[in-house]
Structure 1
Amino acid sequence: MNKEQDVSTRKVILNMLKTRGALSVNDMSKQLGITEMAVRRHLNTLERDSLIDSKLVRQAMGRPTHMYFLTVAADELFPKKYHHLTLDLLEELQAVAGDEKVELLFERRKDKLISRYEERMAGKSLDERVQELADIQNANGYMVELEKTEAGNYVLNEYNCPIAQVANQYNQACSCELSMFQSLLGTEVERTECLAKGDGKCTYKIQKQ
C-alpha cells in the first residue's frame, strides 16, 4: 500500500469514527475489508498524531476489547461553519439595537481578552511581552512570524485569521485586535497590512520603548 492509500485509509477511519461512534479493530477491519493488523498500523499512526484515543470496554461474552474514538483535536478536522452563525447574530444585533451595540460587543470582547492575557505580561520586558503575544496568537491559530529589526523594533506577521469572515464584514474586529496589542505590550503598535482588506497577511510594527 502506497503513502496516498495509507492517508486515504486513515481518512476513512476518521470518517467512520465520526459517523458511527466508537469502534473496535474488528469492526473497522470488516468495514474496510483489510486485516486487523493493517487496521492497527493505521490506528497507531492516528494515536501518535493525537487524533484518536481508546478505552477498554467489557463485553457480555469474552475478553474486554479496546474501542477507539475521536479526540477533540480530530473533531477540528471536520468542517465548521461557526462564522455563519456569528455573522447572523451580529446582523440581528445591528438591526435591532444599532451600530453602537455592535461596537460595544467588540469592545467587551477586547476587554475580556486583555483581562485573560495581561497576567502573562506582568513583570516582563518588552522583548518577553512581544514573544508572549506571538505565542498567544499562534495558539489561537494566527500562524505568527516574528522578526526583530536592526533598530530593535519588531514586525509581527499573521498569515491566518481564524475570524476572517467576521473581520471582512466588521472592521471592529481588526481595530480591537490592534488596541489589544497596544494594551498588552504597553507600546506603540501600527498595522501596515490587513488580511481583511485584501493583503496577504496582517502586519504589525511594534516600536521599542
Structure 2
Amino acid sequence: MTLAPTDPAAPGDTGTRSVAAPPALPERTKSKLLEVIKACDCATAQTLADKLGVTVPAIRRHLQDLQDAGQLEVRTEKPGGRGRPQHVYVLTEAGEATFPKAYAALCLDVLSHVEQLFGEGAVMQVMDARRLELCTQLTPLLGQHTDLGHKLHALARALCEHGYAARAYQEGSQWYLAQRNCPAPAVAKHFPQLCQGELTLYRELLGVPVSRESRLSCGAAECRYKVG
C-alpha cells in the first residue's frame, strides 16, 4: 500500500508523523452491522463498509470482534454462482439469537386458538405430549445415576441447556431444585397447565415426591421445588 506524501515539517517539528488508525465504529453500530449482514445477499467487507459509510479496515476490525464473539462466520462464495470467490460474512446461530424473537407470543396465540377451537382439555393434551417427549429424552440421562443428589444435578444441567437457569442444592438433608428463569413466562402465566406439566415431569423422572413452593409466573424470584 502506498502512503500519501506527508506535509513539510513545520518549524520545531521533528518530521515524524503517525498514521491515524481508521475510525472505530461506535458499539451500537455493531448491532447495525449485524442487521445489515442479515439483510445483505453478499456481505463482503467492502459491501458492508460501503453500506455503513466507514473504511474497510474499520469494518474488518468489528467483523473480527463479532467473529470472536461467535456471532459471525466467514464463507467463501461466488456471487451469483459465477466470478471470483469472495469472503462473505454470515450470521451464526448466536448471531441470529441477538434479534428479537416472538416465540412466546406465537406459542401463546397457538395455545389460545387450540383452547378456543377444542376446549381446555386439548391444551392439556398438548402439554402432556410435550411432557412425554421430555421424559423420553431425559430418562436415559438421569438413569445413569442412582443417588437422588446426582440425579437432581443432572436434571439441573439439562434444564440449564433449555434456558431455565436451574440449580440443585441441599438445605440440611432436604434437596431442592430451583429455576431462576422461565423461557416462556407469558405462556406459563396464561396457561398454568405448563407449570403443572413440569411438576409431573419432575416427579416421574426422579421417582420421589416433588412439591412446588414458589413460581416465577406468580411473581416469585424463582420456581422452587422441594424434592423427596
Q: 1:132 aligns with which of 150, 154, 157?
A: 154
Q: Secondary structure at the match of 1:165?
A: helix
- Unaligned stretches of 5+ residues in structure 2: 1-20
Pairing 1:44–2:42 present = no
1:70 to 83, 91, 104: 91
One of 151, 164, 176 as aligned partner of 2:197: 176
What code does the residue aligned with 2:75 have? K
Following TM superposition, by how much is the alpha carbon of 1:199 offset from its aligned partner in structure 2, in angstroms? 1.3
**1:192 and 2:213 aligned:** yes
Counterpart-to-counterpart distance in 1, 2:63 and 2:57: 10
Per-residue deviation, 1:7: 2.4
Whichever of the two has the greater Rg, that structure is 2
Alpha-carbon distance between aligned partners in 2 of 1:48 and 1:186, rounded to the nearest angstrom = 44
Matched, 1:164 2:185: yes
Report the AA paired with residue 29 of structure 1: A
Identity %: 28
Q: How far 1:48 moved relative to its partner?
A: 1.6
Deviation at 1:133, TM superposition (A): 0.8
Distance 1:48 1:88 in 2: 37
Distance in 1, Cα, partners of 2:78 & 2:127: 50
Give the residue type in structure 1 aligned to 2:118: A
Match of 1:142 among 164, 175, 197: 164
Partner of 2:142: 121
CA distance in 2, matches of 1:173, 1:14: 34
Output the amino acid matched with 1:182.
Answer: R
Q: Give yes or no for contact 1:23–1:68 (8 Å, CA) kept in 2.
A: yes
Name whichever structure is richer in helix by fraction: 1
Q: Distance in 2 between matches of 1:180 and 1:49?
A: 36
Tell me the distance in 1 between the aligned counterparts of 2:92 and 2:126. 32
Give the Cα–Cα distance (whole angstroms) in 1 for the partners of residues 144 and 64 of structure 2.
Answer: 44
Counterpart of 2:181 in structure 1: which amino acid? N
RMSD: 2.0
What is the CA distance between 1:6 and its match in structure 2? 4.3
Distance 1:159 1:146 in 2: 12
Q: Output the TM-score relative to the length of structure 2.
A: 0.81
Match of 2:43, as an amino acid?
Answer: L
State the partner residue of 1:112: 133
TM-score by length of 1: 0.88
Change (3 A) 1:83 1:187: same
Unaligned runs of 5+ in 1: none
Cα displacement string for residues 95-146 of structure 1 (whole angstroms, at most 9, x for unaligned residues): 2222222212211211111011111111313222111111111111111233
SS in 1 for 2:87: strand
Per-residue CA deviations over 1:147-168 (Å, capped at 9, x if unaligned) read 22232x3222211111211110
Aligned pair count? 203
CA contact under 8 A between 1:21 and 1:69: conserved in structure 2? Answer: no
- Residue matched to 2:48: 28
